[in-house]
Amino acid sequence: MQTQGNFLEGLPNAQEAEVFEALVKTDGLMIERIVSHGQRSAPGQWYEQAQNEWVLLLRGAACIRWDDGTELALTEGDYVLIPALRKHRVEWTDPKQDTVWLAVHFAGAIGK
């Protein structure tokens, strides 16, 4: 496990496929860097994770669609908390540049 570095340097090539890199992983927590370049969820594919996911978009742009039909466009600096079992999909990511996400997956109830 790498203990220091620059999150935006040395990005993997995501032109062919989205790249998921676990940076920290414990029993109840995973922090990952996701690099996209024009990818989107496959038709009919929905994510419905058992853990909560907090996502920060650091570079690029993307759009998340919820199963109720609403969409959330994200640009640099935007973040969203996706509660466990909330169905969602990635409608699109910027096809002209890398979209870099910081995703934090964690278990437990979310405080109000």
Residue 4's pLDDT is 82
Residue 110's pLDDT is 83
Q: How confident is the model at residue 3 (pLDDT cuts 50, 70, 90)?
A: confident
The domain segmentation of the chain, as residue ranges, is 19-106
pLDDT above 70 for 1: no
Residue 55, CA distances (Å) to 16, 58, 83 in order: 22, 9, 11
31-88 pLDDT tens trace = 999 999 999 999 999 999 999 999 999 999 999 999 999 999 999 999 999 999 999 9
pLDDT above 90 for 111: no
CA distance 17 to 92: 13
What is the C-alpha end-to-end distance of the chain, expressed in Å? 33
Q: How confident is the model at residue 108 (pLDDT cuts 50, 70, 90)?
A: confident
Task: Supply 9's token pair.
Answer: 């340097």
The gap from C-alpha 13 to its chain's centroid, in whole angstroms, comes to 16
pLDDT above 70 for 2: no
CATH number for 19-106 (one of 2.60.40.420, 3.40.190.150, 1.20.58.760, 2.60.120.10): it is 2.60.120.10
Residue 112's pLDDT is 64
CB 39 within 8 A of CB 14: yes
